[in-house]
Structure 1
Amino acid sequence: VDQEKEYDGDFVVYMIGKYLKSKGLLPHNKVVLTKMSNPGMLKALKEAGIDYVLTDVGDKYVLDAMKQDGLIVGGEASGHIILTHLIHTGDGLLAAVYLLSILSELQTTPKAYCSDVTLYPLKTINIKNVDKASAKDPKVLKAVEDAKIRLGRDYLLLLRPSGTEPVIRLTCSHQDESLVMSVMDSIRKVIEEVNQ
């Protein structure tokens, strides 16, 4: 958090990864994030010469991918940050102190250090009172595939049944917000149709 905004875990991974890469200390010039990461962040990483692995949501999956590929920086937008060159578990206080030491050394702010990151609009809707199994209905799967074609590249599209209620969560991100809304509306309509 600074005077203007809150920086999520993906920003923390970006800043630490960017710093370590500049020092030649980022193995394989790669970090680990989750499938929920904003496409704008992923684009900024690529432009900074940093590759990434995307895992399912959960620090267990992030840590598994880090171990598998010998990586040292990973995390989730929610703020779980893992720095295996310091400790083999998530430690928010350690990550905060580490990031502050980087910013202090560089005599910069999060805003300045992340000035090359432009997040894309990201929307999530809950489609309520539906059979969660309908997320795998062939008509719904076709609507999702059609949406991916419409979105082209640099997008996020996730359809996830809730584990606890009759809800399907639809998340979409793309630089064109009107396209995000159109795609989500198309998928929502198909889900509602197969549930009638």
Structure 2
Amino acid sequence: MPRIFGTDGVRGLANGQLTADLALDLSVAAARVLVDHTRAEGRRPLAVVGRDTRISGQFLEHAVVAGLASAGVDVLRLRVLPTPGVAHLTQTLGADLGVVISASHNPMPDNGIKFLARAGVKLDDAFEKEIEELLGQDWERPTGAEVGRVTPYATPVEEYVDHLVATLDRPLAGLRVVLDCAHGAAWEAGPLALERAGAEVVVIGAEPDGLNINDGYGSTHLEPLRRAVLEHGADAGFAVDGDADRCLAVDAAGAVVDGDQILAILALAMAERGQLVKDTVVATVMSNLGFVQAMKGAGLGVRQTKVGDRYVLEAMRVGGFTLGGEQSGHVIMSQHATTGDGLLTALHVLQRMADSGRSLADLASVVTRLPQVLVNVPGVDRSRVDEDAVLAAAVAEEEAGLGDTGRVLLRPSGTEPLVRVMVEASTTELAHDVAERLAGVVRTQLAL
């Protein structure tokens, strides 16, 4: 059987690749693994299930809940809640499994199913492999009192918001903030958290109808946020994505503050407080060279990983690091969360503004972003990127020309027959020229 799980659960077109049948089968298989793991403890396993606002999440939630309960797992329904909220309650309620039904920043027709382990972290590969191996197999169904109970959980939003606010050391009084909820899972928890933290909040993108998630709003569509910040004279604006596990920001002048800049702001704040373990922040290879240079200039180290929050989390766990993230705004603060949390990120950036009395633009200016150009080269053999001597020589020559003022990254796609050529340089023109030259070499050397 081909592998079903991707780097972030199972995702696809709802009722296309991701059907109610598949959701039911996945949850039954996950439940069977759980029951096997907990049988020795003489108890029935517990799962929590949450979702975003997509209309397809309704039927997928019912399929997942039915599958879990039919296999002997008790289920608490969290209903609409951000992914990090589900992770938090998985941990604090001692649940054996957390299930998130969301396709994050993807368009509305897509959806996904992501499983979380007991500590509120992503399942490891071995657990996912066990689930895949059980799909479609015959099994002995529990009956009578052995089936699971399904209970709506009364206060998921309130408990998640209480957790978020409790991570702050001071109120955010005096700050006016615009929050764009992407018509997604944060539509209720987001405004409530910022208000309880003491900020004056202007809310946009908080009228979900099941169809409008990520549609012209959220972290992938920042123009409405920019307009609202300028219109309301706000100190800052933050936009989360559909499941609120990431956020990007806009300063008072409407300039975008990206994930690298947010990560730098938090790294410096944590370093001052002695909370940045080993004075090191974890980032991916896609982080702008300007971010790396800024951290080096501040005496901080950067541990870089492959692209994907899975790899950031893995490096953080192995090294015991307390801060990591991606350019996309997916930031992980391990003191307070087991996954990326857009609302938590926004609150702590605002706390840094309140503590320092500095504007967001001033704080973000620590990072001077180098122009970055990305060229996708399709129709090539991505498996030979690291083997072709001519390509390696071309990359080395371009890197020598850029020196310390730029860099080159060739990254094979994990899902398509293409190679991504990323170049950073002192000017956009130079980055574009280098990227196009290297893209030409990739087309010639790696042609299928």
TM-score (structure 1 length as normaliser): 0.89
Question: Structure 2 matches for 1:52-131, cutoff 5 A?
Answer: 52-131=302-381
- Shift, 1:62, TM fit: 0.9
Work out whether residues 411 and 420 of structure 2, in 8 Å CA contact, stay in contact via their aligned partners in 1. yes
Instruction: Tell me how far apart the structure 1 counterparts of residues 396 and 306 of structure 2 sit (CA, whole Å).
Output: 20
Distance 1:59 1:163, change over 3 A: closer
Instruction: Tell me how far apart the structure 2 counterparts of residues 164 and 154 of structure 1 sit (CA, whole Å).
Output: 31
Stretch of structure 1 that moved more, 185-194 or 84-93? 185-194
For residue 57 of structure 2, what is the aligned residue in structure 1? none
1:189 and 2:425 correspond: no
Work out whether residues 151 and 179 of structure 1, in 8 Å CA contact, stay in contact via their aligned partners in 2. no
- Shift, 1:154, TM fit: 4.7
For residue 403 of structure 2, what is the aligned residue in structure 1? 152
Q: Which amino acid aligns with 2:354?
A: S
Give the alignment's Cα RMSD to 1 decimal: 1.9
For residue 139 of structure 1, what is the aligned residue in structure 2? 390
Instruction: Tell me how far apart the structure 2 counterparts of residues 95 and 124 of structure 1 sit (CA, whole Å).
Output: 27
TM-score (structure 2 length as normaliser): 0.41
1:169 and 2:389 correspond: no
Instruction: Tell me how far apart the structure 2 counterparts of residues 143 and 85 of structure 1 sit (CA, whole Å).
Output: 43
SS at match of 1:24: coil
Instruction: Tell me how far apart the structure 1 counterparts of residues 276 and 381 of structure 2 sit (CA, whole Å).
Output: 44
Structure 1: segments with no counterpart, 5+ residues: none
Work out whether residues 264 and 366 of structure 2, in 8 Å CA contact, stay in contact via their aligned partners in 1. no
Work out whether residues 262 and 364 of structure 2, in 8 Å CA contact, stay in contact via their aligned partners in 1. no
SS at match of 1:79: coil
Stretch of structure 1 that moved more, 158-167 or 78-87? 158-167
Work out whether residues 36 and 156 of structure 1, in 8 Å CA contact, stay in contact via their aligned partners in 2. no
Computing the radius of gyration from Cα coordinates, the structure with the larger value is 2
State the number of aligned residues.
196
Stretch of structure 1 that moved more, 159-168 or 3-12? 159-168
Q: Which amino acid aligns with 2:414?
A: G
Stretch of structure 1 that moved more, 176-185 or 8-17? 176-185
Stretch of structure 1 that moved more, 117-126 or 3-12? 3-12
- Shift, 1:178, TM fit: 4.2
- Shift, 1:27, TM fit: 1.7
Work out whether residues 265 and 364 of structure 2, in 8 Å CA contact, stay in contact via their aligned partners in 1. yes
For residue 29 of structure 1, what is the aligned residue in structure 2? 279
- Shift, 1:97, TM fit: 1.1
SS at match of 1:153: helix
Percentage identity across paired residues of the two chains: 35
| 1:106-139 CA-partner distances (Å, limit 9, x unpaired) | 2222211122321101000112333334534222
Instruction: Tell me how far apart the structure 2 counterparts of residues 112 and 132 of structure 1 sit (CA, whole Å).
Output: 41
SS at match of 1:190: helix
Instruction: Tell me how far apart the structure 1 counterparts of residues 397 and 438 of structure 2 sit (CA, whole Å).
Output: 9
- Shift, 1:140, TM fit: 1.5
Distance 1:28 1:165, change over 3 A: closer
| 1:15-57 CA-partner distances (Å, limit 9, x unpaired) | 0111111223222211111100111111111112211111111
Structure 2: segments with no counterpart, 5+ residues: 1-249
Structure richer in helix, relative to its length:
1
Stretch of structure 1 that moved more, 5-14 or 143-152? 143-152
Instruction: Tell me how far apart the structure 2 counterparts of residues 179 and 17 of structure 1 sit (CA, whole Å).
Output: 30
Instruction: Tell me how far apart the structure 2 counterparts of residues 65 and 29 of structure 1 sit (CA, whole Å).
Output: 15
Instruction: Tell me how far apart the structure 1 counterparts of residues 315 and 341 of structure 2 sit (CA, whole Å).
Output: 18
SS at match of 1:74: strand
Work out whether residues 283 and 302 of structure 2, in 8 Å CA contact, stay in contact via their aligned partners in 1. yes
Work out whether residues 280 and 321 of structure 2, in 8 Å CA contact, stay in contact via their aligned partners in 1. yes
Distance 1:134 1:17, change over 3 A: same
Work out whether residues 43 and 154 of structure 1, in 8 Å CA contact, stay in contact via their aligned partners in 2. no
